[in-house]
Structure 1
Amino acid sequence: MLRSKEEWQETAESVLPPEERYVDRNRMITARYAGWYLENPGTLKWAGMAAFASRQVGLAIMAADLMTAPERDGSGNPLLALHRFGVDWFMRADFEQIRRGNNNIYRDIAWAHAAYVGGGMAELEACASEPEDTLLVKGFGMIDRGRALCRRDAGSPAGERLIWEGNICLLRHEQVDVLQPIFDTLSVGGRIMASFGSELDFSGALFPDSRFRTSFSLFYGYLETLTGLKSVANPDDRWRWVEQSVIPSWQAAERQMSAPCPTRNALQKMAACEQ
């Protein structure tokens, strides 16, 4: 074993700014995901998706920061100030949970990526001794077996399938085990806000390409989303969207990255902390 799990965790955390610098911290989390994907595009599919998702969270964090800026406190108008206080209290609570979700995912899975990249499957298995690590080991195990098949037979369908199944296992773990407790704490308004904010554009282009774009509210419908009939906070609703729209959109974006393209450019900018 090259390092203990705690040492890998410390390594992963050491590159991040303090939690109170939430915009900078989010940008670095996004950069780490993008970097892992760009270095290992054939295997670390989850990291590529996570980079775009983390960037979207960063946009929400910046929007919340602007909306709760001191200059918008309603000074001189008691009724407006009271309204602002109520809105800010609820918004800050919900956005704090969303920010926590971004941090929790990184804390849960970043060390495993670092260990796998740095020491392979043997290193990850040696470090993963806790029950919550089971799905990480399972996911990376499938990725590793698929990688071995593709090394022996380039483009092996069985190998490619295993790699994707492993990454989807990581994605499922992230959605169910790490994110769901965060979604459970959101207010009713926060759940609706999160549902409308759940969209990803993998195209990286100035004008989004519908083939590479996915939106929770478009997938289920605006009325269903607005009324809460369909909610990203509901694990079944969310996973159906992820499985039927997010993953296919990312796979479509990946297929056009064999040549220089806006998606790759966007990931490179994320990795350089420019987005």
Structure 2
Amino acid sequence: MSHQHNERAVTATAIDDARAQWELRAYRRIEYVPGTEYSRQEIVRRNEYITAAYAEMYLRRPNVFTWAGMAALTSAAVGRGMYLMQLLRASRLGFLLGLFPNEVATVEQMLGVGNLAVFTDIYWQHMAYDAGGLAELQRIYEAGRLNQQAWEAWQQIDQGKRTNDQALIWAGNAGLLYFEQKEVLQPAVYDQHLPIWQVVSAWINSPILGHYESITSFLQGANLGDFQTRWQWIEQSMLPRWKRLAQLRAERVERELHTLLIGGAPFSIPGIPVAKLLGQGMYKPLRTSTLGR
């Protein structure tokens, strides 16, 4: 099926469905058409677009869209992971991480799958809220097109915004994060490949700026693929670090996210420890024509 045919089918589906309309706008933001097969290079480029979209959304309302800021840093780390896997696959050096060649390919694929799965599930919600407020999400929820957990999280965020209660805003954003980790990433990325995630757990650092910690540093022998352990790491270590950074070093965060938005070095933000291995200039800006879609 052609790219144009797929796009027409998606557009037709969206005509009478508010959620589908927002999803279509989100897809256009990253030049994605469901049902289309993409090459490795296109998936890496899509990661760059996803990272930039999250960064742009956070910068719109940094005191409200805290999930998006953390997601931008995480997506950038995912992009570095994909570059690393491509390097290991091409050089056949996967054994350095304890991976067989087919496992290197699996990790690369799962990074791309997870990156897209989270974006397609959550970004349209941010677009809808940014444009139409809680009323727009309520309309979608009452049509049976928004998950109950996500709806409750957005209610917290909106109440916190209206009452200037940052604790409520952070709690709501944490609710979105919990849902994405448990209901989206766990079945899509982790459940089928737990032994592989165990092998690479020590190599994957927190994406938060200055937070040089892996899940195995947090808890010896931990498996990144295990939801309960991963959430413990996120909730007790990563989230508090992100909250302090966003609140106390806001200028630094905004400067780094602007780098992701307009283009910059792919390894300028700590994550997977291969900082100077693959060179510069991997991120590209979104074309301005896509920003209003």
- Give the Å deviation of 1:194: 4.1
Distance 1:145 1:199, change over 3 A: same
Distance 1:140 1:24, change over 3 A: same
| Higher Rg | 1
Match of 2:276 in 1: none
The answer as to whether partners of 1:146 and 1:163 remain within 8 angstroms in 2 is yes
Distance 1:105 1:265, change over 3 A: same
- SS of the residue aligned with 1:109? helix
The answer as to whether partners of 1:4 and 1:127 remain within 8 angstroms in 2 is yes
Distance 1:73 1:14, change over 3 A: same
Cα distance in 1 for partners of 2:134, 2:212 equals 33
Matched AA of 1:196: W
The answer as to whether partners of 1:91 and 1:190 remain within 8 angstroms in 2 is no
Distance 1:109 1:165, change over 3 A: same
1:30 to 51, 56, 73: 51
2:186 to 170, 173, 180: 180
The answer as to whether partners of 1:176 and 1:235 remain within 8 angstroms in 2 is yes
The answer as to whether partners of 1:143 and 1:164 remain within 8 angstroms in 2 is yes
Matched, 1:268 2:258: yes
Cα distance in 2 for partners of 1:252, 1:267 equals 16
Matched, 1:252 2:273: no
Matched, 1:58 2:57: no
Residue pairs, 1:78-93, within 5 angstroms: 87-93=100-106
The answer as to whether partners of 2:194 and 2:223 remain within 8 angstroms in 1 is no
Match of 2:196 in 1: 189
Residue pairs, 1:152-163, within 5 angstroms: 159-163=165-169
Matched AA of 2:231: W
Cα distance in 2 for partners of 1:56, 1:73 equals 22
Matched AA of 1:111: W
Deviations for 1:205-228, whole angstroms, at most 9, x for unmatched residues?
A: xxx4xxx4443121113xx2xxxx
Matched, 1:243 2:257: no
The answer as to whether partners of 1:201 and 1:214 remain within 8 angstroms in 2 is no
- Give the Å deviation of 1:192: 2.4
Match of 1:220 in 2: 219
The answer as to whether partners of 2:88 and 2:104 remain within 8 angstroms in 1 is no
- Give the Å deviation of 1:133: 1.7
Match of 1:199 in 2: 206
Greater shift, 190-199 or 244-253, is seen at 190-199
Count residues in correspondence. 236
The answer as to whether partners of 1:16 and 1:28 remain within 8 angstroms in 2 is yes
Moved over 6 A (4+): none
Matched AA of 2:117: N
- SS of the residue aligned with 1:42? coil
- SS of the residue aligned with 1:148? helix
- Give the Å deviation of 1:136: 1.6
Please give the TM-score of this superposition, normalised by the length of structure 2.
Answer: 0.75
